[in-house]
Amino acid sequence: MAAPGGARRRPLLLLLFAGLVHGASAVFVVKNGNGTACIMADFSATFLTSYDTRSGPQNKSFELPAGAEVSNSSSCGKENASDSSLVITFGRGHTLTLIFTRNATRYEVQLMRFAYNLSDTDTFPNSSSTGVKTVESATDIKADINKTYRCVSETQVNMDNVTVTLRDAAIQAYLSSSNFSREETRCEQDLPTPTTPPQPAPTPAPASPAVFRYNVSGSNGTCLLASMGLQLNVTYRTVDNKTVTREFNVNPNKTTFGGNCSATLATLELHSENLLLLALQFVMNESSSRVFLQGVQLNLTLPDAKEGSFTATNSSLRALQATAGNSYKCNAEQRLRVTSSFSLNMFRVWLQAFRVDGDKFGPVEECRLDENSMLIPIAVGGALAGLVLIVLLAYLIGRKRSHAGYQTI
């Protein structure tokens, strides 16, 4: 059984240049009935949620506060050998849970669960719903037994309409002592990029791809409408055993498209001479009415590839999210990492899956990249206006003082 011992806290670590403050990192410890630590975790976390208000969807970002504590419902499992859990409580009824499992050589965070209280009006103002909502997802957090999982880089876990971002994380379960092990298993993001021998001059990157309007229809009309330019970024081994990374534009003039529709799945499929298949699968979560890109599948012929072709697939994405009935729009270039060797670059995206009214896009939900780009000119303009005001005030004060130095004769 977990002891109620709270978390020891460290002071605020980092201020971003953009002026954002990340939450304080804290050490959370779960102990068994004998007072021996079985789980230790040290990280800071940011939560990005989307919730409904009377005026429409609202995004909210907040940090794991310094007052977060280890809940009594945390557990070391049976004899520190079975599933164990770290439950962190904070705010007005919010909990972050990490559920661990192990085998003979490795342990992992098998499941991350986040429960948030929409009745907390300070965190979720004007929410049209109340009560606690729970989301969960598997994670890539894993390490060797008796080693600390260490990840300085950001680690994101996408759970439906919530994204949890961990920073500067040190996590260890099934401890053999009451402290972190000095030996570490580093996350992939922290590992150095493998060095390769000098390569010939790289092939110049192609220009931005042409934007084209795609649509997919079913028995009930159009289920997918998309206007975008697509570029394939692939890394593969050539016939002379060299590793290369190249980009290929999807040429709409040489590409055919189609797809299929169902109540909660809409698929866009593209084909050309070398592009045997590029499939984009959009799903709708009926409970949250959120639509997102869940799956990408690629089959590409590459004459100089060692295998003759390149294939990649990922069916657990949470990208391009919008509320059902709304459209997703992003003028900025987006690079969607599908696998370690394939990224889909997307340009001037405007799309809508499900609840499409004829050939018209619904109300727009802007991507965060576009929202951030708007902040820069606003901040620069505000700074310039402030500077002009300061100069003007200094001039008026100086002028007033100079007049005060004269007397009337």
Res. 234: pLDDT tops 50 = yes
What is the model's pLDDT at position 236?
A: 95
Res. 274: pLDDT tops 80 = yes
Band (pLDDT 50/70/90 cuts) for residue 177 is confident
What is the model's pLDDT at position 78?
A: 79
Band (pLDDT 50/70/90 cuts) for residue 279 is very high
- Which range (75-79, 263-267, 350-354) has the least confidence? 75-79
Segment 374-395 shows an average pLDDT of 70
What is the model's pLDDT at position 402?
A: 58
- Which range (43-47, 183-187, 260-264, 305-309) has the least confidence? 305-309
Segment 145-168 shows an average pLDDT of 92
Res. 375: pLDDT tops 60 = no
CB 300 within 8 A of CB 276: yes
What is the model's pLDDT at position 10?
A: 35
What is the model's pLDDT at position 277?
A: 95
Segment 383-395 shows an average pLDDT of 78
Q: For residues 91 and 41, what is the distance between their CA atoms, to the nearest angstrom?
A: 19
Give 378 or 288, the one with higher predicted confidence.
288
- Which range (189-203, 231-245, 340-354) has the least confidence? 189-203
Per-residue pLDDT tens over the stretch 14-46: 333 333 334 445 689 999 888 889 999 999 999
CB 215 within 8 A of CB 359: yes
The per-residue pLDDT of the chain, averaged, comes to: 85
What is the model's pLDDT at position 41?
A: 95
Segment 369-386 shows an average pLDDT of 62
Res. 115: pLDDT tops 90 = yes
Q: What percent of the chain has pLDDT over 70?
A: 84
CB 234 within 8 A of CB 310: yes
Segment 254-272 shows an average pLDDT of 95
Per-residue pLDDT tens over the stretch 280-319: 999 999 888 999 999 999 999 998 998 888 999 999 998 9
Q: For residues 161 and 36, what is the distance between their CA atoms, to the nearest angstrom?
A: 37
What is the model's pLDDT at position 16?
A: 31
Pairing of strands 132-137, 106-117: antiparallel
Name 346's bridge partners.
Answer: 230, 334
CB 294 within 8 A of CB 315: yes
Res. 334: pLDDT tops 50 = yes
Res. 225: pLDDT tops 80 = yes
Q: For residues 171 and 108, what is the distance between their CA atoms, to the nearest angstrom?
A: 10
DSSP letters, 357-406, are BTTB--SEEE-HHHHHHHHHHHHHHHHHHHHHHHHHHHHHHHHHHHHHT-
What is the model's pLDDT at position 203?
A: 62
Res. 206: pLDDT tops 90 = no
Q: For residues 188 and 22, what is the distance between their CA atoms, to the nearest angstrom?
A: 23
What is the model's pLDDT at position 94?
A: 96
237 alpha carbon, distance to own chain's centre:
29
Band (pLDDT 50/70/90 cuts) for residue 385 is confident
Res. 146: pLDDT tops 60 = yes
Band (pLDDT 50/70/90 cuts) for residue 403 is low
Q: For residues 311 and 297, what is the distance between their CA atoms, to the nearest angstrom?
A: 8
CA angle 269, 273, 275 (to 5 degrees): 45
Give 405 or 335, the one with higher predicted confidence.
335
Q: Which of 17-31, 72-86, 203-217, 331-345 has the highest mean pLDDT?
A: 331-345
Q: Read off the tokens for 297.
A: 């599948």
Provide the greatest CA pair distance for the chain. 100
Res. 126: pLDDT tops 90 = yes
